Amino acid sequence: MVAYKSKMVERIRLPSREQREHNLDAAGYNVFNLNSEEVFIDLLTDSGTGAMSDAQWAALIRGDEAYAGSKSFDRLESAVRDVMGFSHIVPTHQGRGAENVLYGSLLSEGDVVLNNTHFDTTRAHVANQGADPVDCPVETAHDPDSEDPFKGNFSIDRARTVVDEVGAEHVPVVVQTITNNSAAGQPVSVDNTRRVREFADEIDATFVIDACRFAENAYFVTQREDEFADPETDIVDVTREQLGYADAIVMSGKKDGLVNVGGFVATDDRTLFERCKQRAILYEGFPTYGGMAGRDVAAMAVGLREAVEEAYVADRVEQVREFGAQLAAADVPVYTPTSGHAVYLDAGEALPHLPDEAFPGQALVCELYREGGVRGVELGSFAFPDTDRPELVRLAVPRRTYHREHFDHVVETAASVLESPEEIPGLEITANPATPELRHFTAELEPLSDSV
Ligand code: F0G
């Protein structure tokens, strides 16, 4: 059921086909190089791209810009306490700032970190501390067709194998990312979180939850986990129970904080809090603003409360589900079940004539832009070299931003691109100024003339 009407609008334009062809070429077949004005429907990310509510805009105006002891910080602190259940928070400029603060406080050279799947920035921050990030997804995570309701879960079996190999003393931190963004945004059950808590206790590790999409995850729990199936179950109760198993959380407010910028670490552990606070002063700012303007802190305090309103989160997740169902009905291969923040297309299935080395996902991303000015992102061989993942394209849905007509256009675009899939050429990298892990942000490519 729709939960919003528009109060402010932003003009968008579909460039002509000729312009799109030109833009794609000028961008080196990498849509990160496109200007937003060149994009009609922008599904590159759901991070910081959503629309704020009138209550958030009102909070912005009332933001307290005091360097120390800002009222806006008090509001954020009480929102985090009420919604997420933690009493100490360290604000940061965004999620990766929180990762730097927390992992920099917890890790040392030679440590191993276990995570259901490390998101790119998490992996980079763990590695930056000289530690080794190891993924422990469940078997079904990379099966685009499995109907397992919690494909985002953390595999305790895999984790145990790693601990047996390296020794528990080398694994000081276990992380659960909810929802599991790098495994097609799949949700994590509360039961799995409970078992990871027990496992962390067993090996005497700190248990961290990456809570970026905690509200979407909680909604899935109410829909799919028997224990929480009672229609009276409140999203906030699920959230508090699930996050309550963790020793600390890292949060990007750009997702379920419903803001354009911001993040934080939260914990009930006073010692860890003090450590994080000191590191935050070095990298982020004084602990009552932490790299954000006071007004941004104020908007996030309101956003966190809105994120757990049933009407909001049901509207959000159901919109994404419907978008996925529309694509599937148009014979576009999609990863199922659909996540809470994005629809993932299975480019390997859509373009079977292209081997992984010809980047089928990136080829599909380019065609979606060429055909309809739609920007998605490749999450396959181009973004993750040398890993055995499905060739996915993520169409991320900004929160409270697009409507049915926008999705109709994307579905028509994808269906039209896939009318003659065999005509879509593969790509090769022609310039890569970055390391292999970060190449998808800046590398340039060209169509392979002999791939079709
Ligand atoms: N953790 C997860 C699971 C994320 O998805 C992200 C960001 C971060 C941490 C880092 O947060 O961007 O605020 O610094 N994900 C965005 C995305 C960029 O497009 O999925 P950040």
Predicted confidence (pLDDT) per residue in 202-213, tens digit: 999 999 999 999
Tell me the best of 32, 47, 93, 100 to mutate to test the pocket of ligand 1, counting ligand atoms within 8 Å of each CB and taking the most. Answer: 47
Alpha carbons within 13 angstroms on the beta-carbon side of residue 333 total: 19
Rounded CA separation 448/277 (Å): 51
CA of 47 from ligand 1 middle (Å) equals 7
The pTM of this model reads 0.96
Same domain for 68 and 134? yes
Cβ–Cβ under 8 Å, residues 154 and 192: yes
6 in a domain, yes or no?
A: no
Query: Which of 245, 170, 184, 173 is closest to 213 using CA atoms?
Result: 184
Q: How confident is the model at residue 97 (pLDDT cuts 50, 70, 90)?
A: very high
Same domain for 23 and 87? no
Q: What's the total number of domains in the chain?
A: 2
* 182 touches ligand 1 (CB under 6 Å): no
Q: Please name the residue whose Cα sits nearest to atom 19 of ligand 1.
A: 45
- End-of-domain residue from the set 259, 291, 307: 307
* 95 touches ligand 1 (CB under 6 Å): yes
Same domain for 155 and 279? yes
Greater confidence (450 vs 84) lies with 84
Mean pLDDT of the 175-186 span: 95
Same domain for 250 and 105? yes
CA of 253 from ligand 1 middle (Å) equals 9
Mean pLDDT of the 255-277 span: 98
H helices of 264-395, where? 270-283, 294-307, 310-329, 347-350, 360-372
Per-residue confidence (pLDDT) for residue 433, from 0 to 100: 84
Per-residue confidence (pLDDT) for residue 377, from 0 to 100: 97
10 in a domain, yes or no?
A: no
- Residue 106, pLDDT > 70, answer yes
CA of 212 from ligand 1 middle (Å) equals 7
129 in a domain, yes or no?
A: yes
Greater confidence (437 vs 348) lies with 348
* 341 touches ligand 1 (CB under 6 Å): no
CA of 46 from ligand 1 middle (Å) equals 9
- End-of-domain residue from the set 307, 325, 349: 307
In DSSP terms, which residues pair with 176 in a beta bridge?
A: 209
**Least reliable range by pLDDT among 87-101, 109-123, 385-399, 401-415:** 385-399
Report the percentage of the chain scoring pLDDT > 70: 99
- Residue 145, pLDDT > 90, answer no
Opening angle at CA 213, ends 208 and 215, nearest 5? 105
* 199 touches ligand 1 (CB under 6 Å): no
Same domain for 314 and 350? yes
* 172 touches ligand 1 (CB under 6 Å): no
Mean pLDDT of the 249-276 span: 98
* 186 touches ligand 1 (CB under 6 Å): no
Same domain for 105 and 174? yes
Tokens 């005091």, residue? Answer: 66
CA of 50 from ligand 1 middle (Å) equals 14
197 in a domain, yes or no?
A: yes
Cβ–Cβ under 8 Å, residues 116 and 217: no
CA of 154 from ligand 1 middle (Å) equals 19
9 in a domain, yes or no?
A: no
The atom of ligand 1 lying closest to the CA of 263 is 13
Query: What is the dihedral angle through the alpha carbons of 284, 287, 292, 298, rounded to the nearest 10 degrees?
Result: 160
CATH for 233: 3.40.640.10
> 222-262, pLDDT tens digit by residue?
999 999 999 999 999 999 999 999 999 999 999 999 999 99
Same domain for 434 and 350? yes
* 176 touches ligand 1 (CB under 6 Å): no
Same domain for 143 and 219? yes
Give the mean pLDDT of the chain: 96
* 96 touches ligand 1 (CB under 6 Å): yes
Mean pLDDT of the 362-387 span: 94
Q: Please name the residue whose Cα sits nearest to atom 2 of ligand 1.
A: 119
Report the percentage of the chain scoring pLDDT > 90: 93
Residues 6 or more apart in contact with residue 292 via CB below 8 angstroms = 91, 92, 93, 261, 262, 285, 300
Phi, psi for 243 (deg, rounded to 5): -70, -25
49 in a domain, yes or no?
A: no
Mean pLDDT of the 15-36 span: 97
CA of 95 from ligand 1 middle (Å) equals 6
Same domain for 243 and 314? no
2 in a domain, yes or no?
A: no
- Residue 452, pLDDT > 70, answer no
CA of 19 from ligand 1 middle (Å) equals 31
CA of 152 from ligand 1 middle (Å) equals 16
The parent domain of residue 159 ranges over 54-307
Q: How confident is the model at residue 2 (pLDDT cuts 50, 70, 90)?
A: confident
Mean pLDDT of the 148-171 span: 98
Same domain for 99 and 171? yes
Q: How confident is the model at residue 319 (pLDDT cuts 50, 70, 90)?
A: very high
253 in a domain, yes or no?
A: yes
CA of 49 from ligand 1 middle (Å) equals 12
What is the DSSP annotation of 60-123?
A: HHT----SSS-HHHHHHHHHHHHHH--SEEEEESSHHHHHHHHHHHH--TT-EEEESS--HHHH
Tell me the best of 100, 217, 255 to mutate to test the pocket of ligand 1, counting ligand atoms within 8 Å of each CB and taking the most. Answer: 255
Same domain for 70 and 180? yes
Greater confidence (390 vs 303) lies with 303
Per-residue confidence (pLDDT) for residue 450, from 0 to 100: 66
Rounded CA separation 377/30 (Å): 9
- Residue 451, pLDDT > 80, answer no
* 122 touches ligand 1 (CB under 6 Å): yes
The atom of ligand 1 lying closest to the CA of 254 is 13
Q: Please name the residue whose Cα sits nearest to atom 5 of ligand 1.
A: 181
Per-residue confidence (pLDDT) for residue 381, from 0 to 100: 93
Same domain for 265 and 399? no
Q: Please name the residue whose Cα sits nearest to atom 9 of ligand 1.
A: 95
CATH for 28: 3.90.1150.10
Alpha carbons within 13 angstroms on the beta-carbon side of residue 367 total: 27
Cis amide prior to 161 (ω within 30 degrees) = no
> 378-436, pLDDT tens digit by residue?
999 999 887 778 899 999 999 999 999 999 999 999 999 999 999 999 999 999 888 87
- End-of-domain residue from the set 248, 273, 307: 307
